[in-house]
Structure 1
Amino acid sequence: ARSSSWVRAERDGVFLPLVALGAWLRKGQLIGRISSPFGGDDVTIESPCAGILVGRNNLPLVNEGEALYHIARFEEVREVAQNLEVFTSDIERGPGLTGEPPIA
């Protein structure tokens, strides 16, 4: 990734994440909600940029300003997809199956 962005809570409340780690995001995509425990309007959380979700807050209660999401941004999405496929296939094969000794 060339850069990354943090998405922070706009207010206190109950956080409901709507996307999983590793998800590809579009700019403006709905990725979560913050609800008031006392009722009222929900605050929607949209992705500020296109990228891959690499970090997410898993706590249900959040305070204003807390980090909710970490999004990695890339210049060339195709290049990332190709590298990700190679990385995933290497993980699935496991250590020692590539002819190299396992990492100690």
Structure 2
Amino acid sequence: MALYEHVMIARQDLSNAQAEALNEHFGAVLADNGGTVVDTEYWGVKTMAYKINKNRKGHYSYLRTDAPSDAVQEMERLMRLHDDVMRVLTIKVDAHDEGPSVQMQKRDEREGRRERR
């Protein structure tokens, strides 16, 4: 099986719980087709550079998967058909990086800073 990384942008009017439920739903789709979800990260609501479907913000989610190509194609097809998903990006990688993604590392660095006076 091949290793993939997926980034998904969901509509901004969803709650955090609904956005994370989308990760679980699409992870179940992969599992039904013989794949596994290695790691999921919810990056939160972020402002986009331009409007997509009249939305300026979106819930960003990140999935690391180990799945056959048929399972990934089916998951992407269902993501594109889902009303709450605005964009999907899938990349095939040679190996998954250890630890959190770059987006989560940035968040950890910001929290570690001391307050300015």
**TM-score normalised to the size of structure 1?**
0.29
**TM-score normalised to the size of structure 2?**
0.27
| Structure with more of its chain in strand, by fraction | 2
| Structure with more of its chain in helix, by fraction | 2
For the pair shown, the structure with the greater C-alpha radius of gyration is 1
- Kindly indicate whether structure 1 or structure 2 has the higher relative contact order, using CA contacts under 8 Å at least 6 residues apart: 2
